[in-house]
Amino acid sequence: MINLNPDHFIIKPALATINCEPNWQWKRKAPIPNYDLLYIWSGEGNLNLNGKDYKLQEGSCFLFRPGDWTTATHNPMNPLVITYIHFDLETEPEIIPKHYRILQDRIHFESLLTRYVRLFLVKTFAAEIEGKLILKQLMIQLLREDQLAETQQDEDHDEMKGQIFFNIREVANYVQQHPGENHTVESLAARANFSPRYFSKKFKEIMGQTIQSYIIETRIKRAEHLLHYTGMSVTEVADALGYNNIHYFSRQFKAYTGKSPSEIRTVPAPIKSDRKELTMQRNA
C-alpha cells in the first residue's frame, strides 16, 4: 500500500474505539467485505482468522482483507478495548501489510488511531482528506513493523546458524582431543544439544564428512603420530585408541594410509638425541 496515493483510500463509516461488554463476541455470518484494521489497546482474548488462532493482547494489530473469515471472544474478567477502522481501495496495492503483528512502536501508531477516530466523531472540516492521509500513514507504519520483524527473524536465523556451527566445531575439537574415547553419535549429539539425527546431518554439512568417518580419520592420524614419534608398539597404539582387535585396527589403518602400522612405526632419532643432550646437561 506504500505505492498508493492517499486519494485511493475509500473511507467507510464503520469505525470506533470501544470497551467491549463482558459478554462480547464476534461471530461473522459472512466474510469481511472490505479492509478492516483492528487494534487491541488492552484486555485479552482469542481470535480465529481463516482457521488460524491468535491470542489477543495489548498491542495486537490485524489488517483483515476482503474475503477473510473471523470469529473472536474475550475474557470477561479482562475485557478488550479495541479500535476498528473499515476502508476500501480504488486500486490493487503492490505491497500489503501482513495480517497480524504485535506492534513495537505503539505511541505513534496509537496517536494516529486516536486522531482518525476523533475526526469523525463530529463534522470536522476536511475530515475525509485528513483521514485518507492518516490511513496512508497507518499502512506505512504496519509495513515498517513487518519489515523490522523480518529483519529480526533474519538476524535470529543467522545467530542460530552461528550457534550450530560453533557446537559442531566444538564436538569435532573434542573428538580430536580425545581420539581414544568410545565416541557414539548419541553421546556426541548430546554434547552438542542436538538430536542424533539432526547432529549427524549438520555435522556432515559443516565438516564435509560423516561423524563416523571423522572419528576414524582422527584416530588414524593420531595412530600415525604415535607410531612414528613415540616408539609405542602397534598393540600399544591400538589399545590407546580404543581398538580391542589389533587386526581390525591394522586393516582400518591401511585402508586410510595405504600402509600397515608396522611400516609406519619407527624410533625417532630426534627424541633420543634430545634425551641424550638433556642427560649430558644434567651430568655437566
pTM to 2 decimals? 0.57
Architecture of the domain whose range is 212-269: Orthogonal Bundle (1.10)
For residues 149-165, average pLDDT: 71
Question: How far apart (Å, rounded) are the C-alpha atoms in residues 257 and 225?
Answer: 12
CB-count burial class (<10 Å; 0-12, 13-18, 19+) for 261:
buried
To 5 degrees, how large is the angle CA 185–CA 208–CA 199?
Answer: 30
Looking at residue 281, its pLDDT comes to: 40
State the pLDDT confidence band at 264, using cuts at 50, 70 and 90: confident
Looking at residue 81, its pLDDT comes to: 96
- Find cell 495486537 and name the residue: 60
* Domain parsing of the chain, residue ranges: 6-152, 212-269
User: What is the three-class DSSP state of 150?
Assistant: helix
- End-to-end alpha-carbon separation of the chain, Å? 90
Please state the separation of Cα 41 from the chain's center in Å.
29
Residue 276 has pLDDT above 60, yes or no: no
Residue type, 64: F
* Average pLDDT along the chain: 87
Question: How far apart (Å, rounded) are the C-alpha atoms in residues 133 and 140?
Answer: 11
- Window from 2-11, 186-195, 196-205, 225-234 with minimum mean pLDDT: 2-11
Looking at residue 155, its pLDDT comes to: 58
- Hey, what CATH class is 6-152 in? mainly beta
Same fold flag, 6-152 and 212-269: no
E-state strands within the chain: 9-19, 25-27, 35-42, 45-49, 52-56, 60-64, 70-74, 81-89, 100-102
100-102: strand order across its sheet: 9-19, 81-89, 35-42, 60-64, 100-102
Residue 105 has pLDDT above 60, yes or no: yes
Q: What is the per-residue pLDDT across 112-154, written as a single tens digit (0 to 9) for each?
A: 999 999 999 888 899 999 999 999 999 999 998 888 777 666 6
Question: How far apart (Å, rounded) are the C-alpha atoms in residues 121 and 118?
Answer: 5
